[in-house]
A and B are shown apart, each in its own frame.
Chain A
């Protein structure tokens, strides 16, 4: 069964550094998302991406964050100038088309900012 994959599973970085989190969505899916979950808290939406552009972003997704689909398979989240409060589990999700509505999630990348 097709799955969303994410790498790395765990990323440790120093405050102020840049990180890139990578995702490979399910191959025929058209809508892509990033969510995050701070330890012990609810899952929060960051950004949605469709047709090579951001369709919606949350307040969390400030100008330090960016997303890219550099080729036909990868979907990346870049965080510049990382802060301690960026430490969280980051989930990628994808959806086939509007009418299906079911988003499928990857296993997550745990980001630790020291």
Chain B
């Protein structure tokens, strides 16, 4: 079965420093991977996805993610963190590509806190 894991419940970063939010996956077949962000009392906002192609994926708000097949990882990164990046980040994998419905399976989330 497809799954993702986010090993850190919380990540603390100083504003201006680079940030990394970790995600590892376990899939059968090729992975379809996603990052979403959830601000307080808001829905999930799509940040970026990896389907195929370049291992470095660029997304919204200056975020990027690196797909690493050998390490089965899809870590979210940003070169310079902003206080406004503080939110809950979810990694997700699409269920089997043979299932047209394509439900998403989410990690448990990582709370990112960026301090001034």
Contact = CB atoms under 8 A, between A and B. Distances in A.
Q: Do A and B come from one complex?
A: yes
Interface of A: 4, 6, 31, 33, 35, 41-45, 48, 50, 55-56, 58, 91, 93, 95, 98, 101-108
Which of B34, B101, B102, B106 has most chain A Cβ within 10 Å?
B101
A42 B108 contact: yes
25 contacts: A4-B43, A6-B43, A31-B101, A33-B101, A33-B104, A35-B104, A42-B108, A43-B92, A43-B106, A44-B106, A45-B104, A48-B101, A48-B102, A48-B103, A91-B44, A93-B44, A95-B102, A98-B100, A98-B102, A101-B32, A101-B49, A101-B51, A101-B102, A102-B46, A102-B49
A24 B104 CA distance: 20
Interface in B47-101: 49, 51, 90, 92, 94, 99-101
Given A31-B102, A56-B99, A104 B51 contact: no
Contact of A42 (B46, B94, B106): B106
B88 to A, nearest CB: 10
Contacts, number: 64
Q: Is the interface of A mostly helix, strand, loop or mixed?
A: strand
A41 B51 contact: no
A113 to B, nearest CB: 19
Given A31-B102, A101-B49, A107 B42 contact: yes
B45 interface: yes
A43 B89 CA distance: 11
Nearest to B42: A107
